[in-house]
Amino acid sequence: MNKKWVKVGALAFVAWYVITRPEGAASLVNSALGGLGTAAESLSQFVSAIP
Q: Which of 7, 11, 30 is nearest to 19 (CA)?
A: 11
- Spatial separation of the C-alpha atoms in residues 25 and 4, rounded to whole Å: 24
| Strand, coil or helix: 47 | helix
- Spatial separation of the C-alpha atoms in residues 19 and 12, rounded to whole Å: 11
Position 39, amino acid? A
pLDDT of 1 higher than 80: no
**What pLDDT, on the 0 to 100 scale, is given for residue 33?**
93
User: What confidence tens digit (pLDDT) does each residue in 13-50 have?
Assistant: 989 988 998 898 889 889 999 999 999 999 999 999 99
**What pLDDT, on the 0 to 100 scale, is given for residue 17?**
87
Q: Decide: 28 and 21 in contact? Cβ < 8 Å.
A: no
Domain coordinates of the chain in residue numbers?
2-49
